[in-house]
Each structure stands twice: as C-alpha cells, then as structure tokens.
Amino acid sequence: MKHQSGRHFLQIPGPTNVPDRVLRAIDNATVDHRGPEFQQMSKEVLAGLKHVFKTGSPVVIFPASGTGAWEAALANTLSPGDKVLMIETGHFATLWHTMAKKLGLQPEFIKGDWRHGADPATIEARLAQDTKHEIKAVCVVHNETSTGVTSRVNEVRKAIDRAKHPALYMVDTISSLASIDYRHDEWGVDVTVAGSQKGLMLPPGLSFNAVSDKALAASKSAKLPRSYWNWEEMIASNQDGWFPYTPATNLLYGLRVALKMLLEEQGLENVFKRHDRHAEATRRAVRAWGLEILCANPAEYSSSLTAVLMPEGHSEIAFRQVVLEHFNLSLGSGLTKLRDKVFRIGHLGDFNEPMLLTGLKSPVSRHCSIQRLPRSPLRHGGSLPRSGCRRTGEEALWAR
Ligand SMILES: *Cc1c(COP(=O)(O)O)cnc(C)c1O
C-alpha cells in the first residue's frame, strides 16, 4: 500500500481514536498483577466503572472483545433450551442471536427492518402471551452499530413491567456506553454488556458485564457450562482487587486514564451532549448532500454514529475507497444486508469539531463529484440541493 502523508482520520464507529494520554498510560511497564500497585489500580478502576454504568452492582472485566461479554451474559444466567426473546435491529443483534443458538438456547427473533429500534409495544405483546413465563430473558442492543439506530432501553423496561413478566433484561451497550445516556440501575437492566474500543476510548481487548442482584441470583441455578466467563470467581477475586486469571494489565492502565478523562469533561452529561451535538451536525450535513439517513425514526437517531444510504446505483465500497485514498480517512462500511448500500460515519469517543468537520467536508466534495456523474438517479428522485456544492477549492483536491 502506498504511504499516505499526514495523520490518519479514523471515523468508523469503533474501534475509535485512542487519546494520546491513554496510549501513554498503556505504555507503562507491565507490573505484577499480584502486587500492591496493581491491586490499588484495579480497585480504582472497578469503582470508576460503576459510575459509567450508573450502577451500584458489580461490573466484571474480561480480557476479550465485546463478543466475549455477550457470551458471558448468556452463559452465566441461562440453561440449555431456555427461551430467549431477541430483536432483529441489525447486524449485531443478529450475531448475538446466532450465538444464543450456538450455545444451545432457543432464541425467538422478532423480525426487524434494520431501520428501527426494538419496539416496546411488540415486546410487551409477546411477553403478555407468555403466561407460563417460558421466556427467561429479553435481549436488546441499545445502539445498533450497523444501522445508527438507538433503541429506547427504558421504554422496553416499562413494557416488560407492564406485561408483569419476570424475564431477565440484558442490554448490549458496546457502542453506546460513555457516548449515549445509559442507566443500568435506574432502567432495571440485569446484565449490561460493554466493550473497551468504542465510547471508552481504549483499544479493543476489554469487555464488561454489569450484573444486577437478580442476574447474580439466576447465575446460581443456571446450567449452561462456563469456566473462563464465570462471574462467581471473578466477583469474589475482584472484592480485594484481584483477578482469577491474568488480567490485561496494560489496558487497565489505559482504562484508569480514560475514566478520569470522562470525569474531567465535567461529567458524563457533558460527554453525552457533545455526542448529541456531533450527531446533529452530521445529520444536517447528510441532508444537505441530499442523501438519506438510514434510521427511520428521529426518536431513535444514534448519537454515536450515522448510517447513510448511498444514492441508487452508487457503491459505498468504491466511495469509501476513494475517500481513504484521497484523504487518508476511514469511514465505516455497510455490514451484511447493508453491504455496498450504506456507509457509516462514526462520531463517538475522543472526538471534537475539527475532526468531525474533516470527515464531513471530504464526502461533501466527493458528493459534488457524484452529482456530476452522468447517471445519478437519486433514491428520492429529485435533483440534489446545490448548497454545499458550490465550486470551492475543495473540488481541486479531487482533481487528481
Ligand atoms: C462492536 C460491537 C459488537 C462486537 O464487539 P466486538 O468487540 O467486535 O466483539 C457487538 N455489539 C455492538 C453493538 C457493537 O457495536
């Protein structure tokens, strides 16, 4: 591959940009994970995580990608053949559903169109039918990273309560935690699944389960086999700052700094506001280009990424390749069903306005050139608005 000068712009919805401070912290010498320095650090980190999940319950850390925490959530609480209610919001919900089948569960998949979040009314109706309480868990992906749709986790909680159903409630927050408002305790979630490489601004390699009392109680009688993912030994060791096997020491150094940085932004509320602002700016840019946002319900717009439909007859793969070659900028690809149809703009994690504008400006200029192509039948039929496509110096950048 040809060398590209200047800084690479990573604008995919995870892994996200790792702040230099976090990288420096990871660069510390590896310490004895059975020594006092490590013990002090892990106690700090385990306490700090509770603040981010908004919980008083234990948060366990696995040296794994987010997928590991998905498995831990299911394996610790359920038994072979258990019925689980899952909702097809997109690519990630589908993967979780496939995993549940592989683990020997019986997941029921509520069909979705990949443009909407989990519908509380549908979930309520399904649970109300389940008078024998055969469904043991409801699993929702909070922020569906393949579509840019954020499900209303609190509304789903209320739906479960209205149906007076005792199922456990499990939520994947891998691309929402520390980017979009989330409250494990207040929203009555039993297992929250999260990962390090998105809103938490770390490299991939850590994943998390926040575990309610009800989930812990369920784990006592759950019969799915688990060993590496077992909460019991993990929580027992964590009490004193230890781990049952070698933790990812250096990533935990990074996590300690990332947690500090979130606090230094004067609270999570400000972090969420920044994400909301960047998401709104992105949507306005997309509309000005005359393109369509994949998320069909404005109440479910994601603040951590925006998925954009390519105009009919144009390839997102080719588009992203040109953006990468011209501007050393990575945009997110379309996943499975959305392959070559949708590109995704990540605006989560360690991000600011100039970084966002770089990402938005480059496609604008490219879009102007898309518009000049002879065949450009847009999805919406009409012609593109001219705004943002005035002849500017930017266009010269594409003239290579
Ligand atoms: C990234 C992501 C995953 C997968 O996590 P890995 O770290 O790749 O295992 C799962 N769910 C959501 C919502 C994600 O964004």
DSSP state string for 26-49 = HTSPP--TTSHHHHHHHHHHHHHH
Q: In this model, does residue 76 exceed pLDDT 90?
A: yes
Select from 216, 202, 156 the least CA-distant residue to 49. Answer: 202
Question: Helix, strand, or coil here: 314?
Answer: coil
- Compute the half-sphere exposure of residue 219: CA atoms within 13 Å on the CB side of its CA: 22
What's the gap in Å between 379 CA and the centre of ligand 1?
Answer: 30
Atom of ligand 1 nearest to the CA of 145: 15
Q: Ligand 1: residues within 6 Å at CB? A: 14, 65-67, 92, 141, 143, 145, 172, 174-175, 195, 204
The full set of domain ranges for the chain reads 9-16+267-398, 20-263
How many angstroms is it from 206 CA to the middle of ligand 1? 11
Residue 393: which residues within 8 A CB-CB, separation 6 or more?
Answer: none
The ligand 1 atom at the shortest distance from the C-alpha of residue 14 is 1
Instruction: Give the model confidence (pLDDT) of 298-320 as tens digits.
Output: 999 999 999 999 998 899 999 99
Q: Which of 98, 153, 171, 175 to mutate to test the pocket of ligand 1 (most atoms within 8 A of CB)?
A: 175
Among protein residues, the one whose CA lies closest to atom 4 of ligand 1 = 66
Task: Collapse the DSSP code of 218 into the 3-class scheme (helix H, G, I; strand E, B; otherwise coil) and give the result.
Answer: helix
Q: What pLDDT is stored for residue 326 in this prediction?
A: 86
Q: Which residue has the tokens 């300690």?
A: 256
Q: Please state which CATH number belongs to domain 20-263.
A: 3.40.640.10
Nearest in space to 143 (alpha carbons), one of 279, 316, 314, 286: 279
| Confidence band, pLDDT 50/70/90 cuts, at residue 395 | low
CA nearest ligand 1 atom 3, residue: 66
**In ligand 1, which atom is closest to the CA atom of 68?**
9
Residue 382 has what pLDDT?
37
Atom 12 (ligand 1): residue with closest C-alpha? 174
Q: Is 267 helix (H, G, I), strand (E, B) or coil?
A: coil
What pLDDT does 361 receive?
85
d(CA 137, CA 86): 8
Gap from CA of 308 to ligand 1 centroid (Å): 20
| CA distances from residue 200 to 320, 345, 384 in whole angstroms, order as listed | 25, 18, 38
CATH (one of 2.170.190.11, 3.20.20.70, 3.90.1150.10, 3.10.50.40) for 9-16+267-398: 3.90.1150.10
The better pLDDT of the pair 1, 182 is held by 182
| pLDDT confidence tier of residue 398, bands split at 50, 70 and 90 | low
Rg (CA), the chain: 22
Q: Which tens digits make up the pLDDT trace of 88-141?
A: 999 999 999 999 999 999 999 999 999 999 999 999 999 999 999 999 999 999
Look at residue 374 and tell me whether its pLDDT is greater than 50.
Answer: no
Q: How far is the CA of 314 from the centre of ligand 1 (A)?
A: 27
Rounded CA-CA distance 55/79 in Å is 26
Asked whether the beta carbons of 384 and 292 are under 8 A apart, the reply is: no
**Distance separating alpha carbons of residues 145 and 332, to the nearest angstrom:** 10
Q: Give CA 213 to chain center in angstroms.
A: 25
Residue 371 has pLDDT above 70, yes or no: no
What is the distance between the alpha carbons of residues 178 and 268, in angstroms, rounded to a whole number?
A: 7
Query: pLDDT tens, 139-163?
Result: 999 999 999 999 999 999 999 999 9
Mutate which of 174, 179, 197 for ligand 1 pocket (most atoms within 8 A of beta carbon)? 174
Does residue 376 sit in helix, strand or coil? coil
* pTM for the whole structure: 0.94
Tell me: the pLDDT tens digits for 155-202?
A: 999 999 999 999 999 999 999 999 999 999 999 999 999 999 999 999
